[in-house]
């Protein structure tokens, strides 16, 4: 078989696997949006069965031989060769996991999700605790099967942020502790900003309609997606032409819906911008979750919480909710949506305290995996760290250790990508300001299309061709540098709080 036919065979196999994985994703989306309570048991079985089939197709020895043969040849073009090389790397990682393990993992994760939903509703960690113990043991087993050099967390982190190590994260979080913590202390010395108007009654349907309009404004294509309600906002995709987002609405907290829409919209813009001609192949997929998060945080914070953005959009929002915002200036609104104040909930945290929330989760995950945190003490340690880092007392489990869905998905190693994303976002946005003349003025006039085009050209269009580190250097000329986030934070919040 010549290389052209071999590559076609490879593509057909990869797209078949993608079809199965995207069917799993549809079932996952339905699970969190529509699934009746009694459907949980068989849904877990359905997902587990499909996961097993997908895994079996990917780790098949004949497919591995095909990848080896294609990778050894020189007749492929640069994109084809990159696709094969990345698939071979993924094959070698996945081949370390047996079909039995993948099916068992899928069942445990599905059951854990439903245990988390029940526990969260009842605010009772004891309901979820046995599932969490199973998940920690499962992820330790997975780390051992995959292998690592220094820390079991490295093996899990590599799934979400390839190439990143636990040691590198620890160094990065030292910058957070030494620079960001001190800056937040300066802010806390300033008078408190009034944001009470954000926590009055905002009618659900009006919030929903406004969220839809904001998504359209930033470029989300509703012809290739939709928005629904779920307990925890998320983005999922079944191709670049079917990318769906969810939000949640609290009628007494307008911020909840607004930032969920923009954040998930940023994720969706990335997925909708991936090349559709590479469906099922690595070059049709996102680079890493850190880069994915950079897209959502860039739209949520660098754009969505900017003064320029609200100079254009605030009058329409005032007209929609005149009883709360009619007499309120755009400056007061801008200050309120950027208020820095310690709180309990990660997804509702301000831009700066957000990274303390991530740091806590990183320390707990790492501790559970290395055994430095006794499992029976995990809830108490969570509560103690919130007191230490944020100075808040955790009143109940749903606002504490049960607030995030991620552990119920088995996503250990995921949380650090949230902070990485914000740091990448600041660096990318700094470069975009250099490359797009008058970017702030364009955003102030309602034009975000040039920024989206810049992101599509520089990041989205490449799929996984470059690693996170490579795309950062390609776009900005240097590796990830925490300096850009601190410069951005000092400029923005220094102005809001009148700091020198």
Question: Given 32, 161, 264, 293, which residue is catalytic?
Answer: 264
Is the model's pLDDT at 269 over the cut of 90? yes
Measured CA to CA, the distance from residue 81 to residue 437 in angstroms comes to 36
**Which 3 state secondary structure label does DSSP give 247?**
strand
Question: CA 144, CA 167: separation in Å to the nearest integer?
Answer: 18
Over residues 28-41, mean pLDDT: 90
Span 454-474, mean pLDDT?
97
Nearest of 47, 196, 193 to residue 107 by alpha carbon:
47
Question: Which residues have CB under 8 Å from 77's CB, separation 6+?
Answer: none
- Band (pLDDT 50/70/90 cuts) for residue 1 is low
Find out whether 248 and 257 touch, Cβ atoms under 8 Å. Answer: yes
Q: What residues does each domain of the chain span?
A: 3-134, 166-496
The pTM of this model reads 0.91
Provide CATH code, domain 166-496.
1.10.1370.30
User: What pLDDT band is residue 348 in, cutting at 50, 70 and 90?
Assistant: confident
* Residue among 354, 473, 464 nearest 420 (CA): 354
Mean pLDDT of 452-467: 98
- Residue range 275-297: mean pLDDT, rounded: 97
376 burial class (0-12, 13-18, 19+ CB within 10 angstroms)?
Answer: exposed
- In angstroms, the CA 127 to CA 201 distance is 33
Confidence of residue 73 (pLDDT cuts 50, 70, 90): confident
CA atoms within 13 A on the CB side of 354: 21
pLDDT of residue 231: 83
Burial 86-109 (b: 16+ CB within 10 A, else e): bbbebbebeeebeeebbbbbbbbb
> Is 279's pLDDT higher than 90?
yes
> 């620890």: which residue's tokens?
170
Residue with more model confidence, 93 or 488: 488
- CA distance linking residue 351 with residue 489, whole number of Å: 9
pLDDT tens digit sequence for 127-174: 999 999 999 999 999 999 999 999 999 999 999 999 899 999 999 999
Query: Rounded to an integer, what distance in angstroms lies between the CA atom of residue 476 and that of residue 355?
Result: 23
Query: Mind listing the pLDDT tens digit for each residue in 385-433?
Result: 999 999 999 999 999 999 999 999 999 999 999 999 999 999 999 999 9
**264 is an active site residue:** yes
Q: Nearest 5 degrees, angle CA 102-CA 103-CA 109?
A: 85
Tokens of 258: 């607004």
CA distance 325 to 320: 9
Residue 191 predicted with pLDDT over 80: yes
pLDDT tens, residue by residue, 360-390: 999 999 999 999 999 999 999 999 999 999 9
**Cα–Cα distance for residue pair 270/277, rounded to 1 Å:** 15
Ranked by mean pLDDT, the top range of 25-39, 324-338, 341-355 is: 324-338
Supply 157's token pair. 């982190």
- Please compute the mean of the pLDDT values over residues 232-261 and round it to a whole number: 95
Q: Which residue is it, tokens 């085009």?
A: 453
Average pLDDT, the chain: 95
Residue 74 has a pLDDT of 86
How much is the pLDDT for 120? 96
pLDDT over 90 for what percent of the chain? Answer: 90
Is pLDDT at 298 greater than 90 in this prediction? Answer: yes
Condensed to tens digits (0 to 9), the pLDDT of residues 79-121 reads 999 999 999 999 999 889 888 998 899 899 989 999 999 999 9
Q: Phi, psi (5° rounding) for residue 187?
A: -65, -40
């Amino acid at each position: 078989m010549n290389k052209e036919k071999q590559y076609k065979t490879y593509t057909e196999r990869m797209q078949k696997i993608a079809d199965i994985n995207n069917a799993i994703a549809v079932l996952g989306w339905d699970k969190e949006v529509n699934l009746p309570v009694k459907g949980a048991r068989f849904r877990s079985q359905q997902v587990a069965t499909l996961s097993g089939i997908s895994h079996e197709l990917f780790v098949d020895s004949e497919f591995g031989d095909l990848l080896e043969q294609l990778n050894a040849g020189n007749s492929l073009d640069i994109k084809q060769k990159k696709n094969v090389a990345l698939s071979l790397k993924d094959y070698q990682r996945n081949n370390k996991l047996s079909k039995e393990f993948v099916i068992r993992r899928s069942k445990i994760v599905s059951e854990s999700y439903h245990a988390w939903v029940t526990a969260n509703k009842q605010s009772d960690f004891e309901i979820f605790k046995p599932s969490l113990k199973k998940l920690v043991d499962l992820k330790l087993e997975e780390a051992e099967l995959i292998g690592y050099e220094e820390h079991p967390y490295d093996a899990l982190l590599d799934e979400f942020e390839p190439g990143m190590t636990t040691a590198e994260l620890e160094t990065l979080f030292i910058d957070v502790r030494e620079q960001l913590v001190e800056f937040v202390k300066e802010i806390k010395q300033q008078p408190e900003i009034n944001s009470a108007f954000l926590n009055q009654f905002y009618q659900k349907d009006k919030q929903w309609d406004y969220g839809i309009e904001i998504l359209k404004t930033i470029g989300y294509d509703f012809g290739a997606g939709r928005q629904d309600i779920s307990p925890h906002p998320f983005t999922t995709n079944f191709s670049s032409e079917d990318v769906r987002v969810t939000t949640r609405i609290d009628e007494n907290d307008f911020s909840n819906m607004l930032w969920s829409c923009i954040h998930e919209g940023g994720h969706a813009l990335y997925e909708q911008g991936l090349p559709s001609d590479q469906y099922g192949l690595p070059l049709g997929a996102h680079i890493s979750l850190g880069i994915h998060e950079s897209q959502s945080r860039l739209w949520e914070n660098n754009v969505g919480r900017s003064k320029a953005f609200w100079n254009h959009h605030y009058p329409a929002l005032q007209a929609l909710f005149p009883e709360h915002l009619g007499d309120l200036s755009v400056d007061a609104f801008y200050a309120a949506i950027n208020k820095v104040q310690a709180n309990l909930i990660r997804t509702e945290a301000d831009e700066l305290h957000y990274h303390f929330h991530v740091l806590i989760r990183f320390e707990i995950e790492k501790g559970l995996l290395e055994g430095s945190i006794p499992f029976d003490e995990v809830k108490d340690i969570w509560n103690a760290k919130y007191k230490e880092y944020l100075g808040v007392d955790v009143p109940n489990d749903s606002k504490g250790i049960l607030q995030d869905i991620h552990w119920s998905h088995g996503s250990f190693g995921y949380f650090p990508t949230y902070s990485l994303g914000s740091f990448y976002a600041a660096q990318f946005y700094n470069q975009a300001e250099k490359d797009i003349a008058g970017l702030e003025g364009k955003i102030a006039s309602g034009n975000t299309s040039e920024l989206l085009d810049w992101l599509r050209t520089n990041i989205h269009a490449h799929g996984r061709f470059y690693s996170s580190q490579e795309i950062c250097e390609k776009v900005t000329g240097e590796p990830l540098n925490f300096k850009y986030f601190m410069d951005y934070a000092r400029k923005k919040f220094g102005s809001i709080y009148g700091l020198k």
